[in-house]
Structure 1
Amino acid sequence: MVCSDIIHLDLLGTPLIVVNSLKAATELFEKRSSNYSDRVGMNWNIGLMPYGDLWRACRKGFHQELNPRALVTYQPSITSATQKLLLLLLDKPDDFLKHLRYMAGNTILSIAYGIEVQPENDPFIDIAEKALHAAALTVNSGSYLVDQLPALKHIPDWFPGAGFKRQAREWSKDMSAMAVVPLEFVTEGAMAKGDFIPSVASRSLEKLASEPLHNTASTLGTFIHGLVQNPDAMRKGQIAVDERTGGARLADFSDFGSIPYVDALLRETLRWIPLTPLSVPHRSVEDDEYNGYYIPGGATVVGNGW
């Protein structure tokens, strides 16, 4: 039933479990996390890494670098990227989607690797976008017949219908490049010369830890889309910002939490169109039961973000 806390789908013998309520998600993903922390398996991506010692070590490093207190360190990078974004929007407003991708890439690559990217045709952003596109298609459970019939992975590349194998190789190259190329820039280039911007990667290499990436351009695009569709909300937001700043400056981190209406707009953006409506796929380690619903071990388990 669509209104159930748990929805069980059978994809040619492969169980897909949709967790359809906050109560069920809290119980399974938080209170029973040891059984649902496994992922589809991408060792370069902490969000998709199989549960185990490596995942725990990477998560610890991730938390050390990106906890609320540590984020204060990155405020200058975020402020600089935001100011550049505003200038680009003022100069070429029609290219706003490209500007948003640049802003997101500039912020993330600066924080993660100390890399300053270019507004046009930056190779690091191109690599990241290709890899994120590949990852998004890869984790979409059920997109390919081989997801339901794993034995198909053994057929030769030339066999009719085996195009997914060639596609997988290309995606693997793209995702590997995102993990390797920026890190090589830090280790073989800037750090080797002693001329680098402090970043998550440079600090983590000194401590032999790991580094993560994450995406914000889609959320920014959704936010702008929402404002265009709701001009009254945009005007109210502008009034709220001007009341706080006196209309004499841009809002910055010192205003965080002091403009409730803008905070509400941002929260509504995240609720309205979630980036991952069915979240990151998890995998149950063992058979389980929730309120009478049977969840088999090895099932793909996703949370319904809507």
Structure 2
Amino acid sequence: MGFFDKLKLSRLKEGLTKTRESIRENISRITQGRTDIDEEFLEELENILIAADVGVETTLSIVDRITEKAEKETYHSEDELNGMLMRVMEEMLLDTSESHPVDFDAALPAKPYVILIVGVNGVGKTTSIAKLAHNYNKAGKRVIIAAADTFRAAAVQQLQIWADRAGVPMVSQGQNADPASVVFDAVSSAAAKGADVVLVDTAGRLHNKAHLMEELAKIMRVAKKKVPDAPHEVLLVLDGTTGQNAVSQAKEFTKCVNVTGLIVTKLDGTAKGGIVLSISRELGLPVKYIGVGEKIDDLQIFDRGKFVGALLGK
């Protein structure tokens, strides 16, 4: 493992500190002095995992697997019991056919590669766009940002600040401009200049507003005029600190927009980091990126194995 890989793993572990400590401390509490498993123990374990937002479905699967093992095995010490619990949780959380996204420096299937970023206000959409731009730029890709969130006051200015930090150009027309027109200009510019990636910011009004969904549909139609198969990806940004509310939010968006992947942000300050695994299982959508800090290089490609290891302290 190279230096930068170790640094990323260190930041991931740091970001999941609160969740990890909550899970491990509570499991140590319920295993203290125990060598057997009963109904009371299983109920407490369920509560611990649900509190960490691992999700009801995943939690029940873990408890069923532990019950099955406990019927066949004998544990002679608290450490043996604790070790079994950790192994089962790791196995269950890794039990998925989810594919992992490719690295930022990998060849793109289209040029320009158009990525639509959606999500309600306040989830970290603007910073996620800047972090994606930074990573693609660092990998040698030419990136253009389209400032198509033209309804919210100061949204364009905020995005410009982050675009400057990422060192990439931004196409904008100011507040109250037609978002689809901004996207058309950005995609046209990318095609003319040979840019590799277009990152499209969108309005983040509440997901139950029909107007927002109509606007997103219009943006997608306009993008197709210049690049027939655009957008190539639609990434939904979710705030990891909101727990199960993020799952509800995602379900509303997927009713109206063909979401291809998820970005889960703000995992550096929450004791509910298990939501990443819950979202993935419940929605059947890949979590492609996670935000583990506020710095511009704190967006990571989601690696389920490393995430579970950091979550459980492996």
TM-score by length of 2: 0.27
TM-score by length of 1: 0.28
